[in-house]
Amino acid sequence: MTNNLFLRVVILIGFSIGSVLHGSLVAASEKAILDPNARFHPVVSNSGMVVSQEMIASQVGADILSRGGNAIDAAVATGFALAVTLPRAGNIGGGGFMLVHLAAENKTIAIDYREMAPASAYKDMFLDAEGDVDNLRARFSIHSSGVPGTVAGLIHALDNYGTLSLKQVLQPAIDLARNGFAVSVDLSESLLARKQTLQNDPASKGYFYKADGSGYQPGEILAQPDLAKTLGRIADKGRAGFYQGRTADLLMAQMQRNGGLMSLQDLANYQVVERTPVCGDYRHNRVCAMPPPSSGGVHMIQMLNILEGWDLRSLGHNSAAYLHRLVESMRRAYADRSQYLGDPDFFPVPVAQLTDKKYAALLRGQIDLQHASRSEDIRPGLSQSTLGSALGSESSETTHFSTWDQWGNVVSNTYTLNFSYGSGISVAGAGFLLNNEMDDFSAKPGAPNGYGLVGGEANAIQPGKRPLSSMTPTIMFNRADEPILATGSPGGSTIITIVMQMILNIVDFDMSVAEATAAARIHHQWLPDSVFYESGISVDTLRLLREMGHQLDDKTGVLGSTQSIQRLGVESPQREEIEAPQREEIESPQRLGVESPQRPVIKSILYGTADYRRAGSGVAIQRQSPKD
C-alpha cells in the first residue's frame, strides 16, 4: 500500500465510521449512525455479535464466537439454546429457514428445514363429516404436527459450514436443560397465559409447571432433564440421535397414544434442502431472502420493486402519503401470494415473474395516490384471474436470531413451532414440544386457518409437502457486494412487511438499526381489508388515511420482534463506483481467497439491536478476538 493510499484510508475511517451507507461511501456531512441526539442506540462491537429474542441464548452464541467459532457455529448453538430458554418458539420439534453468507466465498445459501407433511397425510384430513374444517383437530391435536426439521437443519448447517463439533455447540444447551436457568418475567407470563392449553397434556404440564400445577415465578429455576437427555443423544449421535433410536421411539410412542400419523419412515425420510436465495436490487443495495416455500423473499422484493419508483424520503417517514404507498403495495403483493405461492417441489412458483421490475411498474401504475383501493377489487396480477382465496399464516410466536462473526460470515435464521408452544403436546420422556404446522396448509380452499385467513390449491395438504410460510430471514448487501444488514422477525403473515419496513427505514430514511427497530410499523395483507398499525403513528396521519378510504384496525398491539445486526465500515476506494448491474462481472479478490494489495483490510463495526417489543431479548458480543 502506498503512503498516499494509507493516508486516504485513515482519513476515510475518521470521517465515515458510524455513518449510514447506502451501498456506497457517504460524505462526512451525512447523519452519523451513533447520533448522540438519537433516542435509540444500538450495541456496538468490533468483533462478533449475536442477537436473539432471549438473552441467555444470545450469550451462548456469543460465547461460541469467543471460543473461535464462526457465525454458523454460533447460530447452531443459539438455536439449540433457544429450545431450552424460549420454549414457546425456540424448538427442536419444529422447523424453519436459515440464510448463510460465507465471506471467503462471497456466497449466500438458503437452508430450508421447514416441516414436512407425513406420508399418511391427505388433503381433507382436517374436514369433519359436514365438510367443514375441524379447527381443534387442525391446531391442537397430534395430527397438527408435521415432521420436524430443526435438528436436521441445524446439524446440516454445522456439518457443511461450521468449524466446531456438534458436542461443542450443543453443550451449553445441555447444561441449561440439565442444571436449569432462572425463569424470566417473559417466560413466567407466557406459561401463565398458555396454562390451560399446556396443562391439557400430561407431559407438557409436568415439564413446564410445578408438581402442584402452579407456574414458575421470575427468578425461580426451571430444569428440563428429559430435554437434556434428548440433546445429549443428538450431541453423541448427530441426526441419528433424534430421527432414530431412543428419541424417535419416544416420539412414535406419543403418536401411537394419540393416534398420530407420523411414522419412523417419515423421520428417516426427512430432508434438508439447500435453495438459491431470492435476491433483488433496491436503490443500489442487494436484498437476499428466503425463497419458496417461504413467501417472504418473493413478496418483499416485489413490494420493494413497486416502492422504488417513488421518492419515499421526500414524503416523510410514516406520513399518510408514505403509508398509503406501502399499503397499496402490500395489498397487491399479498393478493399474488394467495394464488401463486406454495412448496416449489410440488407447485410451479413464478418467482422470476413476481420479482420482475417491469411487473412492479405495472402494479405501481395501477395505484391511485389519492384514494385507497378496495381489496375485493384487487386480483392476483400475473393473470388478472378471478378473486381467489387469501393466504395462510403461521403464528406470531415464531422467533428470529442473527449472528455475525469477525471474519464477515453472517447467519439470519427464523424458526417456529407455529402457535405459541406449538400444539401444546410434548413428547413424554423426550422433553420437547410438537409443532402444529399442518395448520399452515390450506385445510379447505376458502376456509380460514387459525388467524382468520384462508388458502388455495397451491398450499393444499400433500404427503411430503412443506407448508407455505411467511418467515423472511434476510441479508442485505451494499453495491460492493458486502453484507451490511442481517434481520428477520416473527409475526406470521406480518413478517414480510415488518422486515421490509426495517429495510426502508435504513435505506430511505438514514435510520440506525436501533431507530429502525423502534419505529412504529404498519401491516396490510389484502384480506381482511384492514390496515394494522402500532401506537406511534400520528393521529393526523390516521385521519388522513381514513379520508383516503383505508380501513384501520384500532387494536393491533405490536408487530413482530426483529433481531438485527448492521455492519458499517469503509468500502475500498477502488470499488466505490461499482454499479449493481456490474456486480457479476467482477471477480473480487476475496472470492479467490487472495488479499488484494489495492484493497486495505479495514475493521468493520457491528451495530446490533434486539427488538424492544419482546421482553427478554438481547444482544451479546464476542468478548475477545481469538487468534486466526
68, 261 Cβ separation under 8 angstroms: no
The Cα 328–Cα 526 span in angstroms is 9
346 dihedral zone (left: phi>0; alpha: psi -120 to 50; beta): alpha
DSSP 3-state assignment of 439?
Answer: helix
The Cα 595–Cα 580 span in angstroms is 22
Place of cell 404440564: 205
List the 43-45 sheet strands across, edge first: 43-45, 605-610, 563-568, 483-487, 474-477, 285-289, 278-282
Q: In whole angstroms, how far apart are CA 125 and each of 59, 259, 425, 562, 574? A: 42, 13, 19, 35, 60
* Nearest alpha carbon to residue 427 among 229, 250, 196: 250
Classify residue 526 as exposed, middle or buried by CB count within 10 Å of its CB (0-12, 13-18, 19+). buried
- What type of residue sits at position 221? I
DSSP code per residue over 482-544: -EEEEE----GGGHHHHHHHHHHHHHTT---HHHHHHS--EE--SSS--EEE-TTS-HHHHHH
Active site residue 398: yes
**Active-site residue among 398, 472, 494, 517?**
398
109, 100 Cβ separation under 8 angstroms: yes
Strand runs labelled E in 131-277 = 181-182, 221-222, 273-275
Query: Which residues, 6+ apart, have CB-to-CB distance to 34 below 8 Å?
Result: 18, 41, 42, 44, 512
Active-site positions read 398
